[in-house]
Amino acid sequence: MRPVLIRLEDITRTYHVGEVDVDALCGITYQVLQGDFLGIMGPSGSGKSTLMNIIGCLDRPTNGSYFLSNEEVSKFSKRQLAITRNKRIGFVFQSFNLLSRTTALENVELPLLYADIPTKEARELAYKSLELVGLKDRELRKTNQISGGEMQRVAIARALVTNPTLIMADEPTGNLDTKTSIEIMGIFASLNKEKGITVILVTHEADIAAYANRVIHIRDGVIEREDIKRDIRKISKGEVS
């Protein structure tokens, strides 16, 4: 049995906007095992990004507990959250979030330089990470000279370079064409299968969610249902109505 990586217990998150309270999450209880590939689906405004921010240690719940590897991170200070985030979690975004007119290599080195890793070591790790995502020999291309698919590869290499336990991706193929999306999803799938990295990915496309081994559907801040892979395959083959 694989160990539990993430344990969410009755998580809520209320945003205060002027006089108004917005209940973005209304009681999320869920576990993610180490090595899972979790898809999160749901309509716009359902709370997906709010949940990703909490799991990614960018935000804390209003109520409820969040344990990451048995540590209660929902009680952490902002500083402790930042340390946990930098050490253990890699992020990939729909809009890539790369530094403009900067080389692939420099983008990937950056998290290591922030973490005070010596320059030479940072460079070696960045080269390795870029090779893993299929960008060997393209390390010195600048971000304004590469395609969207290559930009997302750079972003994945940057997420990977700190050797995280968990990679979180919010609509990572949202700006990519179908063929490129399949290539990018292949990278996530192989990081999950071959390196055992836990992946959590938000998408609203069923084709993309099909790469996950389990999918939760969120609506109005609660988990509406969960699919496990066996069921998804059957549904896509039309065997389950």
Please report, for residues 52, 78, 85, 167, the alpha-carbon distance to residue 56 in angstroms, rounded to integers and kept in the order given: 6, 13, 7, 9
Size of the site for Mg ion (CB under 5 A): 2
Q: Is 164 in the site for ligand ADP (CB under 6 A)?
A: no
Using the rule CB under 5 A, is 203 a contact of Mg ion? Answer: no
Among residues 45, 118, 186, 196, the one that binds ligand ADP under rule CB under 6 A = 45
- H or E stretch at 238: none
Contacted by 47, from Mg ion, ligand ADP, none: CB < 5 to 8 Å by type: ligand ADP
- Establish if 203 lies at the interface with ligand ADP (CB under 6 A): no
Complex with ligand ADP: residue 55 or 187, whichever CB lies closer = 55
Which residues on neighbouring strands pair with residue 38, listed in sequence order? 200, 214
Site map (CB under 6 A) of ligand ADP, residues 218-237, x = contact: --------------------
Q: How far apart are CA 139 and CA 156, in angstroms?
A: 14
Binding pattern to ligand ADP, positions 48-77, x when CB under 6 A? Answer: xxx---------------------------
Q: Closest separation between CB of residue 211 and ligand ADP, Å?
A: 19
CA–CA dist 39, 216 (Å, integer):
6
Residues 71-130 binding Mg ion (CB under 5 A) are none
Is 85 in contact with 57 (CB distance < 8 Å)?
yes
CB atoms within 10 A of CB 163: 12
Q: Which does 241 bind (CB under 5 to 8 A by kind): Mg ion, ligand ADP, none?
A: none
Category of 233 on φ-ψ map: left (φ > 0), alpha (ψ -120 to 50) or beta: alpha
DSSP at 33: E
Q: What is the DSSP letter of 171?
A: S
* Cα–Cα distance, 41 to 238 (Å, whole number): 20
Least Å from the CB of residue 203 to Mg ion: 11
For 108, phi then psi, to 5°, come to -75, -30
Q: For ligand ADP, give the closer residue by CB, 46 or 129.
A: 46
Q: Which is nearer to Mg ion, 97 or 190 (CB)?
A: 97
CA distances from 25 to 43, 45, 64, 126, 134 (A): 14, 10, 11, 37, 38
Q: Does 47 bind ligand ADP (CB under 6 A)?
A: yes
Return the number of the residue (45 or 186) whose C-beta is nearest Mg ion: 45
The interface region with ligand ADP, picked from 16-24, 110-118, 192-200, 229-237 by CB under 6 A, is: 16-24
The interface with Mg ion within residues 36-55 (CB under 5 A) comprises 48-49
Positions in the binding site for ligand ADP (CB under 6 A): 15, 17, 22, 24, 42, 44-50
Positions in the binding site for Mg ion (CB under 5 A): 48-49
